Amino acid sequence: MLLPVTEMLSENEAIDLLGADQAAEVFIGAQMAALQAVLDASESIARGAEVMAGAVRSGGSLVYVAAGSSGLMALADACELPGTFGIPANRIQIHMPGGVPVDGRMPGDTEDDVGAAGTAMRAVKDGDVVIVLSASGSTPFAIAVAERARAKGAVVIAIANNPGTKLLELGDIPICLVTPPEVIAGSTRLGAGTAQKAALNLMSSQMGIALGHVFRGQMVNVVADNRKLVGRATGIISGIAGVSRDAAKAALTVAKGDTKASILVATGMTVEQANQLLFRHKGQLGPCLMTIQPNQNTTV
C-alpha cells in the first residue's frame, strides 16, 4: 500500500548522517519547498479569506479545529486575531481534542476521538466558518468535525497536505498544501507545519485587509493594550492623520483606544462622528478619510 506523502521517506540522504551545515541546508530547503506549496494554493487561500471576512461582517464566528501539531498552528493564528485586527475574542473558538495543552503533554490518541467532534461543534451554527486542519487529511477527529460542521450549515475550510484525502473532500473550500516528504519522516511539525502556519497567516491577513483593518500597510484596528502597542498606534495615527504624536496620543485617549476612530478624531471629528462615519463605510478607513474637507480642523 502506497504511503501518504507526509509519511514517506525523504529523497535526501538521512539527515542524521549529515554534518551540521549540510543538514541545515537540507532543512531550510525543505522549508522553502513548504512555502512553495502555499503559493501554489494561493487561489484557494484567497477564497478562504473571503468567507472568513464575510462571517465576521455578519456576526458569525471563526472556529479553528485540529489535533496535534496542526492544532498548535491553528492556535497560534487564532490567538493573534484579536490583538492584530481587533476581532472580538468571543467570536473566535479554538478546539483541540483533549483540550489546548498547558504544558508539554499532548496525547496522540485524542486525534482518534470522534466523539469529541460533537462537543467541539456543539455551538457552531449557520454563518460560522470552521477551519479544520490535518496534515494527513485523514485524522478521525478532523473528519468528524468537518462532517458535523457541514450538517450545521457552517462553511468548512479544510486544510491538508495530502491530495485526494477525505478531509479535503468534505471542505467547502479545500486547501491542499502539497509538501514533500518530511526531512524527518512523518514529523509534520516541520514542512507540513510550516505550510499550514504560512497558509493560516496569509488567509487571516487577507481577511483583515478585506475587513478594512489594514490601511497603507498598517494595522489600523490594532488593540493598543500595552506600552509598545500604544506607541505603535500613536505612530499610525500621527502618520495617517498628519498630526503630532502628542495630538495622536490625545486622540487615542479620547477614542478609548480605538485606532481607526482615533485617526478620524485627530482630523477634528468627535468620537460620535467618527464612529458614525466608520459605520457608514463598513469600517473602511479610506472612504472615511476621503469625505474629510481639506480645511477641516486637524487639532484635538
**Cα–Cα nearest to 195, from 144, 130, 134:** 134
Q: Which of 7, 50, 80, 147 is catalytic?
A: 80
pLDDT at 299 over 80: no
At 90, list the grid cell.
468571543
How far, in Å, CA of 254 to CA of 251, rounded? Answer: 5
Which domain CATH number covers 116?
A: 3.40.50.10490
How far, in Å, CA of 72 to CA of 74, rounded? Answer: 5
Q: Could you tell me if 126 and 145 lie in one domain?
A: yes
Q: Could you tell me if 178 and 268 lie in one domain?
A: no
Evaluate whether 110 touches 97 at the Cβ level (below 8 Å).
yes
Q: What is the pLDDT of residues 117-166, one digit of tens each?
A: 999 999 999 999 999 999 999 999 999 999 999 999 999 999 999 999 99
- In eight-state DSSP terms, residue 163 is T
Q: Could you tell me if 228 and 89 lie in one domain?
A: no
| pLDDT recorded at residue 16 | 87
- Residue 298 covered by a domain: no
Q: Which of 11, 25, 43, 111 is catalytic?
A: 111
- Residue 300 covered by a domain: no
111 belongs to the catalytic site:
yes
Vertex 38 angle, CA 37 and 43, to 5°: 115
- Residue 205 covered by a domain: yes
**CB-based burial of residue 15 (10 Å sphere; 0-12 exposed, 13-18 middle, 19+ buried)?**
middle
Q: Could you tell me if 72 and 151 lie in one domain?
A: yes
pLDDT at 68 over 70: yes
Residue with cell 496535534: 68
Q: What is the pLDDT of residues 222-250, one digit of tens each?
A: 988 889 999 999 999 999 999 999 999 99
At 159, list the grid cell.
486544510
Q: What is the pLDDT of residues 16-67, one digit of tens each?
A: 899 999 999 999 999 999 999 999 999 999 999 999 999 999 999 999 999 9
Question: Which amino acid, residue 185?
Answer: A
The domain boundary residue, chosen from 146, 179, 210: 210
Which domain CATH number covers 226?
A: 1.10.8.1080
Lowest mean pLDDT among 81-95, 155-169, 189-203, 282-296: 282-296
Q: Could you tell me if 172 and 238 lie in one domain?
A: no
| pLDDT recorded at residue 1 | 52
Q: Could you tell me if 66 and 138 lie in one domain?
A: yes
How far, in Å, CA of 110 to CA of 84, rounded? Answer: 31
pLDDT at 297 over 80: no
| pLDDT recorded at residue 219 | 93
Residue with cell 478585506: 210
**CB-based burial of residue 8 (10 Å sphere; 0-12 exposed, 13-18 middle, 19+ buried)?**
middle
CB neighbourhood size of 139 (10 A): 25
How far, in Å, CA of 289 to CA of 237, rounded? Answer: 12
Residue with cell 455578519: 58
Q: Could you tell me if 111 and 227 lie in one domain?
A: no
80 belongs to the catalytic site:
yes
The domain boundary residue, chosen from 160, 187, 210: 210
Q: Could you tell me if 153 and 63 lie in one domain?
A: yes
- What's the mean pLDDT in 260-267? 95
| pLDDT recorded at residue 112 | 84
Provide the mean pLDDT of the chain: 92
**What range defines the domain where residue 147 resides?**
5-210
- Residue 125 covered by a domain: yes
| pLDDT recorded at residue 187 | 86
- What's the mean pLDDT in 86-110? 88
User: Directed axis angle between helix 259-266 and helix 271-280, to 10°?
Assistant: 120
The domain boundary residue, chosen from 194, 210, 226: 210
| pLDDT recorded at residue 295 | 41
